[in-house]
């Protein structure tokens, strides 16, 4: 494996971890992800992880309850995801720690850059759970924020779709996939790779992304070994 980067932040969608079940966890999918991340860690790459909460809760689904409360439920969903996936990572032989932007008793530790760096030095995989800790910010924004804070080299964006397209391939069969695109073009063309606030943070802080399909075989490892088939989003 070519070690192109020293430190990466991997964003996993909650739905992708649910597999075909769409909710909860598909253990086989999670173990497959864990084995791939272990390959990165074994090659000396420091890995931070952010997981969405969509397998439990989508903040926009309820029109009944307050937006802030809906987002708080979403933050808790991401913590459940991180605790579960962190245990799967331990099962395949990695050391892990879950950090949150607010206290969760003894279940997680409070996030700080120094604390994250301390764990990375020990060869641990660090999970950034609980989003940013504030409502109105998605896990996309949390991913970019943490990547900038910990000075990651790149964001690895593992999605249900295998890259960035010029239109939605689900609705348009002739949608064209980009091999490479700049973050500026993503913004200009309104390509919804990540949400708007996250896109602008990437642009301002020159944070590149590798966008790929989690369901493609060995897709996480392929981001580092020259067999990448997704979209490279450059700065």
Look at residue 100 and tell me if it is in a domain.
yes
**CATH assignment at residue 146:** 3.40.1160.10
Look at residue 51 and tell me if it is in a domain.
yes
Look at residue 142 and tell me if it is in a domain.
yes
Look at residue 2 and tell me if it is in a domain.
no
- Section 83-87 average pLDDT: 98
The helix (H) or strand (E) run that includes residue 33 is helix 27-42
Look at residue 165 and tell me if it is in a domain.
yes
* Chain segment 128-157, per-residue pLDDT in tens: 999 999 999 999 999 999 999 999 999 999
Number of compact structural domains in the chain: 1
* Chain segment 99-135, per-residue pLDDT in tens: 999 999 999 999 999 999 999 999 999 999 999 999 9
Spatial CA neighbour of 175 closest among 191, 152, 156: 191
- Section 195-208 average pLDDT: 96
Residues 224, 45 contacting (CB under 8 angstroms): yes
Spatial separation of the C-alpha atoms in residues 7 and 48, rounded to whole Å: 8
Look at residue 82 and tell me if it is in a domain.
yes
Phi, psi (deg, nearest 5) at residue 7: -140, 130
* Chain segment 10-36, per-residue pLDDT in tens: 999 888 888 888 789 999 999 999 999
Q: What is the pLDDT of residue 2?
A: 62
Q: What is the pLDDT of residue 192?
A: 84
High-pLDDT (> 90) share of the chain, %: 83
Residues 92, 38 contacting (CB under 8 angstroms): yes
Measured over the CA atoms of residue 191, residue 21, residue 77 and residue 121, the dihedral's sign is negative
pTM (2 d.p.): 0.95
* Chain segment 25-78, per-residue pLDDT in tens: 999 999 999 999 999 999 999 999 999 999 998 766 678 899 999 999 999 999
Spatial separation of the C-alpha atoms in residues 28 and 31, rounded to whole Å: 5
Q: What is the pLDDT of residue 3?
A: 67
Look at residue 113 and tell me if it is in a domain.
yes
The CB density around residue 37, as the number of other CB atoms within 10 Å, is 26
Look at residue 1 and tell me if it is in a domain.
no
Domain with 60 in it? 7-234
């Amino acid at each position: 494996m070519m070690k192109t980067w020293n430190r990466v932040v991997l964003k996993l969608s909650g739905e992708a971890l649910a597999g075909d079940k769409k909710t909860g966890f598909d253990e086989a999918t999670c173990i497959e992800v864990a084995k791939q991340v272990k390959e990165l860690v074994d090659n000396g790459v420091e890995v931070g992880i952010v997981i969405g909460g969509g397998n439990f809760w989508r903040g926009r689904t309820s029109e009944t309850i307050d937006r802030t409360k809906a987002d708080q439920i979403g933050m808790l969903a991401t913590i459940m995801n991180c605790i579960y996936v962190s245990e799967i990572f331990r099962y395949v032989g990695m050391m892990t720690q879950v950090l949150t932007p607010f206290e969760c008793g003894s279940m997680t530790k409070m996030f700080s850059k120094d604390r994250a760096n301390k764990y990375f030095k020990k060869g641990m995989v660090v999970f950034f759970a609980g989003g940013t800790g504030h409502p109105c910010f998605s896990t996309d924004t949390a991913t970019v924020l943490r990547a900038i804070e910990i000075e990651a080299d790149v964001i690895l964006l593992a999605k249900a779709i295998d890259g960035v397209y010029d239109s939605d391939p689900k609705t348009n069969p002739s949608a064209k996939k980009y091999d490479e695109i700049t973050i500026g073009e993503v913004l200009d063309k309104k390509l919804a790779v990540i949400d708007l606030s996250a896109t602008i943070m990437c642009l301002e802080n020159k944070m590149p992304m590798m966008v790929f399909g989690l369901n493609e075989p060995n897709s996480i490892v392929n981001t580092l070994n020259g067999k990448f088939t997704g979209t490279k989003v450059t700065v």
